[in-house]
Structure 1
Amino acid sequence: MCRCASPAAVVEPPSPPEKTFTDVITEYRATFMITDLKVTTRRGYESVLESTLLPRFGPQPISRVDGAAAAALDLDMSKRELARATRNNTQIVLRSVLRFAKSRGYVADRPANLPKLKPFDEGILEIPSDEQITKLLRTANELHRRAFALMVFAGLRPNELRALRRKDMKLRREGGAAMGGVLGIREGRSHGEVHTPKTGQREIPIAPQLAPLLALVEEGPRDGYVALNKRGKPWGQYGLDQAFKRVGRRAGLEEWSVYCLRHYAITSWLRAGIPVHVVQRMAGHKHLATTQRYVHFMKQDLEEAARRMAQAQGLKEESW
């Protein structure tokens, strides 16, 4: 009689424990946030993770952070009367984390029934007048004036201004005087880190009003920065805004942000008759709709001009 041993039962290896929300965030920070997010976006996402998402979901299995959990979070934020933008930003970061979890195979699919993002009104554009800009530039010292003029006449974003180097500046001279040229916008600088501009590299003509101010720093190391603070260093993350507030107080712009200078530049290009698609490229707008906001603002100018003309011209239709 055969006493052969019966085949051993196959033992399945235990399934690895499910990732928690914190586990996923650890990987998300070490990979996706570094490779796919710009510096400023990364900062914003970190704030949402630390202040809201990790305290709320940290130890929970990632599969339990579903549409119902996201909706409950949004409801709690609504009860606390948090702004729509804050609620939207929280949901945007959460969606990004859940997409990442799906890409890593930690969940079968992104949860259904996630809360819809809330519509909110776009802010009103702050467009200073020519008189206000003139007063601001006259009030500013030489260093402030150069920085402000780069936003007023070239429409630079603050991070692009902080990163602008002499090698990106090509001045054109006529009779020995700087009369124009081109600025190459190739980098941005945010929180001390250099990155590509928000919507890629671009070139901007140097306006005749800006050229003499740039000529003063034309000489020097090619890698030297064009806009410097009083310590001879590139502007820090908040230095330019603080300088604008100080000078703006004396120029009647104390309640405005430094971004109003960029808004002024874009509007002035449109008023000069530059085609809107060209202004889009000069401003570095990803979408034409962004540039169109300035066109709509100018329509208000025209309506106001028509109203004033009607008041100033006393002729009645029946008189002629």
Structure 2
Amino acid sequence: MAPATAAKRPRISDDDRLVNMWLHNRSANTARAYRADVDAFRQWADKPLADVVLDDLQGWFDSLKGSDATRRRKLASVKSALAFGVRVGFLDVDVGAALRLDRGRDRLSERILTEEDVRRVIDMEECPRKRVALRVLYFMGLRISEMCSLTWRDMTRRQQGGVASVFGKGGKTRHVLVPAKLWKEIVAVRADDWRPETPVVPGHDGSPLHLRAAHRLVKRAAKRAGLPDASAHWFRHAHASHALDNGAPAHVVQQTLGHSDLKTTTRYAHVREGDGGGNYLKD
């Protein structure tokens, strides 16, 4: 009897190789999001990327649902992959370069919570573990993925509070202050048998907090406080805006948030409702 033949592995297409190279060394969360965008486009176009034309990209963009920001983000992912394909010689023409969009309206000010809003969201959360998650997002200005991946190996005790080594966007590590009161609250929810790999903000069973669970936690807390549209990233926006409003130097806020460009940070200094240059002129 002839021996059973090994199951054949599915052939990896050139497009798969291209996408894998494009995503090489990106963070897991970034790679997952970018791959989903490009896979959605490939499924919609139903042709190799080498055969894609401008009409395909325009038609796909027009078919997208959701907010303008979400549609633009998805298009940017695909345009980046196509441009990379040309740079490494997989593609002959960068069809995405011809598709340019007018810059959308800046709606950052609509996503800034007041200090009272933030306090209400946090104070109405009765679970100590979940309250710590909300306070970490706000007082440390972390991205939600950074919070979920933070372990006690990354935490260093100081005389007042501590410092967290945060591995963030772009594969960069930054050092973020942990205020003394927040440090005590974090320690209070830590397991008695904690180890270096123990998550700083654990899930309900002590295991690492999953990204989806973290998003749900924030959405439910915000909704409970009458802010159903708020998301985890709004706490990061609030951190930047409130710190600048209260006199923090822009370069300090930039370092805390991990912004590569100071212009990104200083956007938050101009979004408080009711403020403007006229308030600083003599009448």
Q: For residues 232-286 of structure 1, what are the alpha-carbon distances to aligned partners after superposition, in whole Å with 9 as ceiling and x for unaligned?
A: 1211121111112222222222221122222222222212322111210111112
Partner of residue 210, structure 1: 182
Q: CA deviation at 1:201?
A: 0.7
Structure 1 segments, 4+ long, off by >4 Å, are 77-85, 109-113, 304-307
The residue type paired with residue 120 of structure 2 is K
Write the letter of the residue equivalent to 1:237. L
1: distance between equivalents of 2:19 and 2:138?
37
Q: Considering only CA atoms, is the larger Rg found in Structure 1 or Structure 2? A: 1
2:261 equivalent to 1:280: no
The more displaced of 147-156 and 249-258 is 249-258
Show the 5 A alignment for 1:128-139: 128-139=113-124
**Does residue 27 in structure 1 map to residue 8 in structure 2?**
no
Confirm or deny: 8 A CA contact 1:171 1:215 kept in the other structure.
no
Return the alpha-carbon distance in structure 2 between the equivalents of residues 111 and 39 of structure 1: 27
Shift of the 229–112 alpha-carbon distance from structure 1 to 2, 3 Å rule, reads closer
Cα distance in 2 between the residues matched to 1:162 and 1:29:
26
Please report how far the alpha carbon of residue 180 of structure 1 lies from its aligned counterpart in structure 2 after TM superposition: 2.0
Q: CA RMSD in A?
A: 3.1
Q: Is structure 2 residue 173 aligned with structure 1 residue 201?
A: yes
Cα distance, 1:29–1:199 mapped onto 2, change above 3 Å: closer
Match of 1:73 in 2: 56
**Distance of aligned partners of 1:278 and 1:102 in 2 relative to their CA distance in 1, 3 Å threshold:** closer
TM-score, structure 1 normalization: 0.71
- Percent identity for Structure 1 against Structure 2: 20
Checking the alignment, whether the CA contact within 8 Å between 2:155 and 2:164 is kept in structure 1 is yes
- Point out where structure 1 has 5 or more consecutive residues left out of the alignment: 1-21, 174-178, 187-195, 308-316
Residue 306 of structure 1 and its aligned partner are, at CA, apart by: 4.7
Partner of 2:75: 90
Deviation at 1:110, TM superposition (A): 4.3
- State the 1:228 CA deviation: 0.9
CA 1:245–1:92: 2 relative to 1, 3 Å: closer
- TM-score, normalization by structure 2: 0.79
Q: Deviations over 1:37-85 (max 9, x none)?
A: 433332233223332234425258x2x44xxx21x12443465475655
Whether the aligned pair in 2 keeps the contact of 1:28 and 1:100 (CA below 8 Å) is yes
User: Any conservation in 2 of the 1:150–1:161 contact (CA below 8 Å)?
Assistant: yes
> Is 1:199–1:285's contact at 8 Å kept on the other side of the alignment?
no
Aligned residues between the structures: 264
Give the secondary-structure state (helix, strand or coil) at the position aligned to 1:233: coil
- 8 Å CA contact 1:165–1:222 kept in 2: the answer is yes
**What is the distance in 1 between the residues matched to 2:87 and 2:63?**
31
Unaligned segments of structure 2, at least 5 residues: 1-11
- Note closer, same or farther for the CA distance 1:246–1:47 as it changes in structure 2 (3 Å cut): same
